[in-house]
Amino acid sequence: MNALAPPSFTPRAEAAPAEVLAHRELNGEYRHLVLRAGPVAAGAKPGQFFQLLCPCPPGEAPYLRRPMSLYGADPAQGTVEFLYKIAGAGTRGLATLAVGEHLDILGPLGKGFTLDPAWRSIVVVGRGAGLATLAPLARMARLAGIAVTAVLSARRPELVVSEALFRAEGASVVSVTDSDGSSAPAHVEEILRGLVASGRCDAFFTCGSARLLRLQQMLAREFSLPGQVALEQQMACGLGICFCCVRDFAVEGEIVHKRVCWDGPVFDMHEAVA
């Protein structure tokens, strides 16, 4: 080897323009975006996220990038997907993107979900935009031979996003909504207790609701089950530098501070302070 040659370096994340291949409105609130990206981005794992440089919507100028979880990635096709809810200026800007235009994406960032090969069945419980973060877990679990039961919560039936993806990956799906009262904590608890009792829950996974997180923490403690939570926190850099995303975590009886973008966004469910 030439002693003067630079060491080979494969970046784990990069900022690069990605071409819009498809951009579809799912309902009044959510959009599905498919991008052609480089191999680094397309190698993203479920639970990781990207910092998106959102275009300016008319009359507005979103400051800083916006964090968005990976919804799908196909390394063979070089694509990454996002499923997002229009919340403010940044996501309003995203919604203006047309097929053929480019979006600057920085990632993949953070630590994603992990699966224990000893698990046979997991339970995934999410709400709202959190369902987008959890959806790619369905494929990851299927490839690992782990069965998934997904409890999907939303305000109304048309806002239950990711249901088709969970079903396509072979998950059993239960949708609960505010409109018919089925999302009430007591009812979700009944569903989760039934899954634990029938041996269909080796671990919990959750995102999108502090109330659902607390419920699963309580059940996980009661039945000595592991769990993981993907946390959503306001972010600036997304790179572990600015410390604006620090939250409290309970680790071995002590409160410790961790950066959601760097130490997570996926954390041990038992450590999260909900």
In angstroms, rounded to a whole number, what is the distance separating the alpha carbons of residues 83 and 126?
14
Beta bridge partners of 15: 106
Instruction: State which of residues 242, 247, 271, 274 lies at the interface with ligand FES (CB under 6 A).
Output: 242
What are the phi and psi torsion angles at 17 (to 5°)? -75, 135
Non-local CB neighbours of 60 within 8 Å, separated by 6+ positions? 89, 92, 93
Instruction: State which of residues 34, 46, 53, 69 lies at the interface with ligand FAD (CB under 6 A).
Output: 69
Q: Residue 28 Cβ, how far from ligand FAD at the closest point, in Å?
A: 14
Angle at 243 between CA 238 and CA 249, to 5 degrees: 100
Q: Residue 63 Cβ, how far from ligand FES at the closest point, in Å?
A: 14
- The answer to whether residue 10 forms part of the interface with ligand FAD (CB under 6 A) is no
119 contacts 146 by C-beta, under 8 angstroms: yes
Which of ligand FAD, ligand FES, none does residue 241 bind (CB under 5 to 8 Å by kind)?
A: ligand FES
Pick the piece of the chain touching ligand FAD (CB under 6 A) from 9-17, 63-71, 189-197, 247-255: 63-71
**Residue 253 token pair:** 């009886």
Number of residues that bind ligand FES (CB under 6 A): 13
- The answer to whether residue 230 forms part of the interface with ligand FES (CB under 6 A) is no
**Residue 60 token pair:** 């507005």
- The answer to whether residue 149 forms part of the interface with ligand FAD (CB under 6 A) is no
In angstroms, rounded to a whole number, what is the distance separating the alpha carbons of residues 3 and 125?
53
Which of ligand FES, ligand FAD, none does residue 228 bind (CB under 5 to 8 Å by kind)?
A: none
192 contacts 122 by C-beta, under 8 angstroms: no
In angstroms, rounded to a whole number, what is the distance separating the alpha carbons of residues 10 and 25?
35
Instruction: State which of residues 143, 241, 251, 256 lies at the interface with ligand FES (CB under 6 A).
Output: 241
Pick the piece of the chain touching ligand FAD (CB under 6 A) from 140-148, 213-221, 228-236, 249-257: 228-236
- Specify the residue for token string 């794992």: 45
Which of ligand FAD, ligand FES, none does residue 236 bind (CB under 5 to 8 Å by kind)?
A: ligand FES
Q: What residue ranges bind ligand FES (CB under 6 A)?
A: 235-238, 240-245, 259, 261-262
